[in-house]
Amino acid sequence: MTHPSKIVVWFRRDLRLSDNPALAQAVAEKAEIVPLFIFDPYLLNHPETGIGRVQFLLGCLDSLQKNLEHLGSKLIRHYGNQPQVLVEVATKVGADAVYWNEDSEREWRTKTDVCAIEALREAGIKVRCFQSEAVSPAGGKEVYDLKFFTPQWYRFLQEPVSLRPTHLSPVQFSTNTSPLKSLEDLGLPMTTQTVPVAGEREAHRLLNEFLDCKVPRYLKSLSVATQASQNTSRLGAHIKFGTISVRTIYQQVLLKRRTATAWEQRNLDGFISRLFWRDHFAQKLRNLPRCETESYLEAFDSVPWSQNDQHYRAWCEGKTGYPLVDAAMRCLNATGWLPFRLRALCATFLCIDLFLPWQWGAKHYMQQLIDGDVAIDHWQWQSHAGVSNRGRTWFRVYNPVKSIEKIDPKGAFIRQWVPELANVPEEALRLSGSASLEYCCPIVEHQEARRRALAVLEPIKHQHQYQQL
């Protein structure tokens, strides 16, 4: 009698059972499946690791564990060097193969995959990697150029969604390691952030809530602080950890679009556009891994950026003297989330007003954001800092005072997060300068800081706009 093959399915940023290509293939082969997740010390101890984000990850793993148990299986959690753990577990369970889905959020992940493939093959264990996102292997500028990337993105997302398994075989595997189910187990401090509900069920609930209730108000809410928190999908962290696939989201949006009004269709198209740019940033970083730490336009890394640590700490803690900036940073630190427009405003304030390197700001954002993703956040930081767009000769600089009128017109967001200003009328918040508010003296004068920064940065942009990589 022929025994079924045994396959280790390595979960990483695909913490779901639905539309999981590696898992679906193992199920299709009628294999005995050993689900595995590995905590690697490199990622846990990385300077950009967010404790709140790790707590959300743990919630995703708990949800995945329950879903696997419902199907008769269980999730094995391990800690250690990923290639080494893969070989150890695969050998111990007698696996014929290890399957996983591609992930290249950091250059380290790509290098780790190469090492894992080599180690497993040396051990005589088969390896298969699957495409689970609309991002192709690195292949140079042609791969991320929009005229090439756009059609392949739509083509991938229109492919059928792989079905959720209905049953999995029991896992016979014992481990002497700790359960690895808490921050304490992982040697990390407790988070002070309010961490949202995690898991596959919650991801689908949020998507349905967005499609059923929020679509008509979506676009108009994006630039208004209090409305953005109420009318955006809040799926960012779920997409980050793959509790729902972008393909599933895309196809559900298209289904909704069939019966939507013209205005709702416009909102849905705007939502799809943001999914598109998210993946395009990931595609660019896969092809330009140096941009994880370096500016796309390398000349900007030679700029004599300020190294004023006091300014940086004031920005991180929301004590700059500019109410909208401070409210945004305090919201970020407490909740791990911030509307896009405020992410952009705080980024330009750091890079232009304070003239600090974008890498400093990216580090803090990644430490705080529950949905922090290197490809998206680092590329957005470079965009806001003006160091990534060769064709644009100007820098977009948000006015941190005048922006209040559009982003927080009634001052509700500011009062919520800067209690020192709880009794200040909205007219006073929109003064041409914020010194008169007397809650915190502005650490720089916006117009003068802007003038000094652009005097240094704009000539560099003009010099490089026509150069090619």
Same domain, 85 and 47: yes
Same domain, 22 and 53: yes
The whole model's pTM is what?
A: 0.95
Domain that holds residue 82: 6-132
Of 289, 314, 347, which residue constitutes the final position of a domain? 289
Same domain, 262 and 345: no
Same domain, 125 and 259: no
Of 254, 289, 324, which residue constitutes the final position of a domain? 289
Instruction: Supply the CATH number for residue 386's domain.
Output: 1.10.579.10
How many residues can be counted in the chain? Answer: 469
Per-residue pLDDT tens digits of the chain, which is 469 residues long? 456 799 999 999 999 999 999 999 999 999 999 999 999 999 999 999 999 999 999 999 999 999 999 999 999 999 999 999 999 999 999 999 999 999 878 888 889 999 999 999 999 999 999 999 998 888 888 889 999 999 999 999 999 999 999 999 898 777 655 689 999 999 999 999 999 999 999 999 999 999 999 999 999 999 999 999 999 999 999 999 999 999 999 999 999 999 999 999 999 999 999 999 999 999 999 899 999 999 999 999 999 999 999 999 999 999 999 999 999 999 999 999 999 999 999 999 999 999 999 999 999 999 999 999 998 999 999 999 989 876 666 788 999 999 999 999 999 999 999 999 988 888 888 764 555 566 888 999 999 999 999 999 988 887 765 554 4
Structural domain contains residue 195: no
Structural domain contains residue 151: no
Same domain, 373 and 420: yes
| 3 state DSSP class of 456 | helix
Same domain, 388 and 369: yes
Same domain, 92 and 123: yes
Angle 224-403-407 (CA atoms, 0-180°, nearest 5)? Answer: 10
Of 289, 309, 340, which residue constitutes the final position of a domain? 289
Structural domain contains residue 170: no
Structural domain contains residue 251: yes
Transcribe 275-336 into DSSP letters.
HHHHHHHHHHHHH-GGGGTS-SSGGGGGS-----HHHHHHHHHT-SS-HHHHHHHHHHHHHS
Same domain, 25 and 121: yes
Parallel/antiparallel/unpaired status of strands 97-101 and 126-130: parallel
Strand partners, 34: 8
Same domain, 325 and 241: no
Q: Domains in the chain: how many in total?
A: 3
Transcribe 121-150 into DSSP letters.
HHTT-EEEEE--SS-PPP--HHHHSHHHHH
Same domain, 386 and 247: no
